[in-house]
A = this chain, B = another copy of it.
Amino acid sequence: MSAPPFVDETVALLERTPRVLQEMLGDLPEGWLGEPDTAGGWTARDVVGHLISAELEDWIPRAEIILRDGTSRQFDPFDRFAHTERDRGVPLTTLVDRFVELRSRNLTRLNEIVRDDADLDRRGRHPEHGEVTLRQLLATWAVHDLDHVAQVFASLAASQDGAVGPWKAYLGILLRRDAAGSAG
């Protein structure tokens, strides 16, 4: 039995994220890692912690609810800040390793539970959005990866905010930090 093409394409992205984080963050000097992406935002450690939380509590648990209970059981709410206490004092490299392991296990599980395109059209009930499909959940999993890895990059860039001098005017990744600050 082979997975639907949509699942294969989504997994192609999902399996790259751990490798990208390992390449970027493994042994990166501490000087890059101290700033959040925006004032009051997240450092690289926070982002990896949040990705761990989502592997534990969000994507696969919700996929299982959709396939087992459909819309009869609302998803449990997801705690976006679960990492704050859980990961206090844990080194970044340990967090990345933990994410790599959880993602690998979850992609194996995904391929076990999704059989065909009809499964992708099955629905669940989101506490705020109402009815959503498994296909939307999986697309969101991948885009959520891209969003948060880009956030890691913004946090690394933040450490050089003052160092780039007048070139800052050309660097959207830094200008957006200021815009986020003034909007907040």
Q: Is the interface of A mostly helix, strand, loop or mixed?
A: helix
Let me know if A184 is at the binding interface, CB within 8 A.
no
- CB < 8 Å neighbour of A171 from B31, B140, B157: B140
Asked if residues B147 and A164 are in contact (CB atoms below 8 Å), the reply is: no
A129 closest partner in B (C-beta): B166
- CB < 8 Å neighbour of A156 from B137, B146, B153: B146
CB distance from A178 to the nearest CB of B (A): 14
Asked if residues A20 and B24 are in contact (CB atoms below 8 Å), the reply is: yes
Let me know if A163 is at the binding interface, CB within 8 A.
yes
A174 closest partner in B (C-beta): B143
Let me know if A68 is at the binding interface, CB within 8 A.
no
Asked if residues B24 and A12 are in contact (CB atoms below 8 Å), the reply is: no
Asked if residues B173 and A147 are in contact (CB atoms below 8 Å), the reply is: yes
What CA separation (Å) do A12 and B176 show in the bound complex?
24
Asked if residues A160 and B139 are in contact (CB atoms below 8 Å), the reply is: yes
User: Which residues of A are in contact with B by a Cβ distance under 8 Å?
Assistant: 8-9, 12-13, 16, 19-20, 23-24, 27-29, 31-32, 126, 129-130, 132-133, 135-137, 139-140, 142-144, 146-147, 149-150, 153-154, 156-157, 160, 163-167, 169, 171-174, 176
